[in-house]
Amino acid sequence: MTIKLPARRNFLKDGMAAALGAAAFPLISSSPLATKSATAAKTPQASAPSASARIKIDFDRQIGKIDRNIYGNFIEHLGRCIYGGIYEEGSPLSDSDGFRKDVLEAARGLHIPLLRWPGGNFSSGYNWRDGIGPKDSRPRRWDTAWQAEESNRFGTDEFIQYCRKLGAGPYITVNMGTGTMQDAADWVEYCNGTMNTAWANLRRKNGHPEPYNVKYWGLGNEIYGSWQAGHKTATAYADLALEFAKMMQWVDPTIKLVACGGNNADWDREVLERLADVVDYISLHHYGGSMDTPKEIHDASKLEHEVHVLDAVITSVAGKNEKKERVKIAADEWNIWFRSWFKRGDDHKLEEIYNLRDALWAASALNIFHRNCRSVQMADLAQLVNVIAPIMANPTGIVLQTIYFPLQLYAQHSGNIALDTFVRSDTFPDIPDTPYLDVSATTDDNGQKLTLSVVNRHPTSDLTADISIEGFKLQATGDLYEVNGPSLDSTNTFAEPKNVGVKRSQFSGAGPSFHQTFPAHSLTVLTLKS
Ligand code: AHR
C-alpha cells in the first residue's frame, strides 16, 4: 500500500529558519513569571444590552471524563529545547544538577501531567545506551534527524530526574527507525526492571535503586514519513510494531503502548487492524498555522475533523477486535508551526515567535480536546522550551510566549468532566460553519465547579452572549481570566515581554441566565462555584 506523504514535511528546507527565530530576541534579563496583568488587556463587562451570541450549558449533558494527560508536553533533542533550554550545565541560572531553575519554574506553571521524550524525529536514530553512565564517558554522536552534534549528557536518568522535579509522568518513544526490538525491551528493563538482571542492575549501579515505572511508551515516531530514519509502509510498521510490543510487554506487562498513527485513515486502519489488541493509544500529530486569521481558525476546524476521522477508524476497527477497551487518541504532537524550518548548523532551530492569534488557536485546540474527551485521552504540546515552545530561554533569562497562557489556564482551572455546550454566534464570512465564538465547559464530579472557556476569534468586535446554565446552583461571583493583547499580531519578546498576558478579575452576576461580553481577539476563562 502506498501512503501519501504530507508535502510540508520538507525538513531540510533552507533559509526560513532564523527569519523569525531567536535572532529576534535581544539577550536581556529575565522576564518575571507573574501573569496577573496584561498591560493591554481590556476589561470585560458583566452585562450588555443586546446579545449576538448564545451559550447554553446543562449539568446533565456530560460528554465524559477529561484525562489530565491532555495537558501533556514534549521535549526533544532538537535545537535549544534540551541543551540551552531545560538543561544548561554551568549556568548561574541552573541548579546543581544542571537544570535551569527559571525554566523549571515556568514549566511547573503549566501543570504538566506527562512529558514525552526523546523525540520526535530524533527518536528514530537514538541509541538510549549512549545516554547512560558517567557523563564524561558518553559518546558524542551525529544526530542525522536534526543534523546536529549530540553530546548525550542528557539521557534517560536525567529525563526521569527532570520529570520528578516537574511533577510529570514520563512518556518514552522508542526507536523503531534504526533500533531493534531488543533495544526497546532492554530500555523497558533499564527503566522498570525489578529483577536481578543486567539492565535493571545497570540502573541500580548508575545510582537509581528504585524502578522508574515508566508507564507510557511510544512505538516509534512518524514512521510513515520519508523524513524519518527507517520509514516504513503501514504493513511493515504494523508487523514490526507487533513484535516490539510483544517484547516490551514481556518485560513489563503493565506498560501502556502508543501506536504510531499516520494522519491518514488508510494507514491508521491497517495499523489498528494489526495492533488494536496490544496498544492503548494511536498517535495523531497536528501542526497548523497562518498569518491569516480565517486560515488559522479554519486550521483548528481541521484538527477537530482529523480527530473525528481517527475516532471513526478506531470505532470501525473496534468492532472486529477482541479487546473490550477502545484504543484512544494520543495527540502527542500539536502546535502552530509554519514559520521556522531549519538548516544544518543552525543552533536556533524551529524557534517560532508566537502571536496572540496563535494563542487563540491553542485555546481552540484545547477546546477541541475537551469536546472530544472520550477519544482524545492524551495530548502533548510540541514542545516545551525554545523549539516551537511556550517558554523561550536565553543565557540570561526567559520569556513566556503567548501560547503559554491558554495552556496554563486550561490545565489549572478545567474540571475533570466535559459538558456539551450549545453555542450560536455569527460565523466567519469565508469559512463555512465556523462561529467566532469557540467554547468548552467543564465541571467536576460533584458539580461544584463550572469552568467556561470562551475564545472570541473575531479580529475586531467584542461579542456579547446570552448565557444560560441549567443544573447548577451557582454563586453569583467567580474569577475571570482574560488573555488578550493589543492586536492579533502582538508577541512577547525579551524586549517587550508583557504585550500579551492574563488579566484576572472578580466576576459577579452569574446565575441561571446572564450576559457576558467577550472582547475582540480574546480568551476568557470563567470559573464559578456552586
Ligand atoms: O516537533 C518537531 C518535529 O515534528 C518532531 O520531531 C516530529 O515528530 C514532527 O514532524
DSSP character string of 326-349:
PPEEEEEEEEE--S----TT-SST
Least confident span in 193-202, 239-248, 425-434: 425-434
CATH number 3.20.20.80 given to 67-413: yes
The whole-model pTM stands at: 0.91
Ligand 1 centroid, distance to 158 Cα (angstroms): 21
Closest-CA residue, ligand 1 atom 1, reads 382
- 174, 222, 332: which to mutate for ligand 1, most atoms within 8 A of CB? 222
- The end-to-end CA distance of the chain, in Å, is 55
524 C-beta neighbours (distance < 10 Å), count? 24
Whether 384 shows a pLDDT value over 70: the answer reads yes
198 C-beta neighbours (distance < 10 Å), count? 11
Whether 483 shows a pLDDT value over 50: the answer reads yes
Q: What is the mean pLDDT of residues 297-312?
A: 92
Burial class (CB in 10 A: 0-12, 13-18, 19+), 184: buried
Q: What is the CA radius of gyration of the chain?
A: 23
Least confident span in 72-76, 315-319, 328-332, 371-375: 315-319
296: pLDDT confidence band, cut at 50, 70 and 90?
Answer: confident
495: pLDDT confidence band, cut at 50, 70 and 90?
Answer: very high
Pocket lining: 260 vs ligand 1, CB cutoff 6 Å: no
Whether 121 shows a pLDDT value over 70: the answer reads yes
pLDDT of the residue at 245: 98
pLDDT of the residue at 15: 26
Q: What is the mean pLDDT of residues 263-279?
A: 96
Within 8 A by CB and 6+ apart from 84, the residues are: 347, 386, 393, 395
pLDDT of the residue at 51: 60
pLDDT of the residue at 345: 84
Dist. CA 343–CA 134, nearest whole Å:
31
Pocket lining: 119 vs ligand 1, CB cutoff 6 Å: yes
pLDDT of the residue at 342: 84
69-114 pLDDT, tens digit per residue, is 999 999 999 999 999 999 999 999 999 999 999 999 999 999 999 9
Locate CATH 2.60.40.1180 in the chain: 31-64+418-529
Pocket lining: 124 vs ligand 1, CB cutoff 6 Å: no
Locate CATH 3.20.20.80 in the chain: 67-413
The domain defined by 31-64+418-529 folds into Immunoglobulin-like (2.60.40)
Catalytic residues: 222, 333
CB-based contact 117:173 (threshold 8 Å): yes
Ligand 1 centroid, distance to 121 Cα (angstroms): 6
pLDDT of the residue at 290: 84
1 C-beta neighbours (distance < 10 Å), count? 9
50: pLDDT confidence band, cut at 50, 70 and 90?
Answer: low
Nearest to 211 by CA among 197, 200, 198: 200
- The C-alpha cell of 155 is what? 539521557
Dist. CA 362–CA 237, nearest whole Å:
31
Ligand 1 centroid, distance to 120 Cα (angstroms): 5
Ligand 1 centroid, distance to 76 Cα (angstroms): 9
Whether 261 shows a pLDDT value over 70: the answer reads yes
Pocket lining: 382 vs ligand 1, CB cutoff 6 Å: yes
Ligand 1 centroid, distance to 330 Cα (angstroms): 15
Ligand 1 centroid, distance to 386 Cα (angstroms): 14
- 333, 339, 352, 380: which to mutate for ligand 1, most atoms within 8 A of CB? 333
Ligand 1 centroid, distance to 42 Cα (angstroms): 36
pLDDT of the residue at 17: 27
In percent, the amount of the chain with pLDDT more than 90 equals 82
Closest-CA residue, ligand 1 atom 7, reads 120
pLDDT of the residue at 7: 33
pLDDT of the residue at 45: 37
- 123, 174, 285: which to mutate for ligand 1, most atoms within 8 A of CB? 285
Within 8 A by CB and 6+ apart from 19, the residues are: 339, 340
Question: Is beta strand 417-419 parallel, antiparallel or unpaired with respect to 422-424?
Answer: unpaired
* Ligand 1 atom at minimum distance from 221 CA: 8
pLDDT of the residue at 114: 98
Least confident span in 176-180, 187-191, 200-204, 295-299: 295-299
pLDDT of the residue at 38: 33
Pocket lining: 120 vs ligand 1, CB cutoff 6 Å: yes
390 C-beta neighbours (distance < 10 Å), count? 27
Whether 212 shows a pLDDT value over 70: the answer reads yes
438/24: higher pLDDT:
438
Closest-CA residue, ligand 1 atom 8, reads 120
3-state secondary structure of 453: strand
Closest-CA residue, ligand 1 atom 3, reads 120
Whether 6 shows a pLDDT value over 70: the answer reads no
Whether 152 shows a pLDDT value over 50: the answer reads yes
266/44: higher pLDDT:
266
Least confident span in 116-120, 189-193, 198-202, 458-462: 458-462
Q: What is the mean pLDDT of residues 372-390?
A: 98
How many angstroms separate the Cα of 230 from the Cα of each of 37, 188, 305?
49, 21, 29
pLDDT of the residue at 440: 98
Looking at every residue in the chain, the average pLDDT score rounds to 90
424-470 pLDDT, tens digit per residue, is 999 988 887 889 999 999 999 988 999 999 999 999 999 999 999 99
Closest-CA residue, ligand 1 atom 5, reads 120
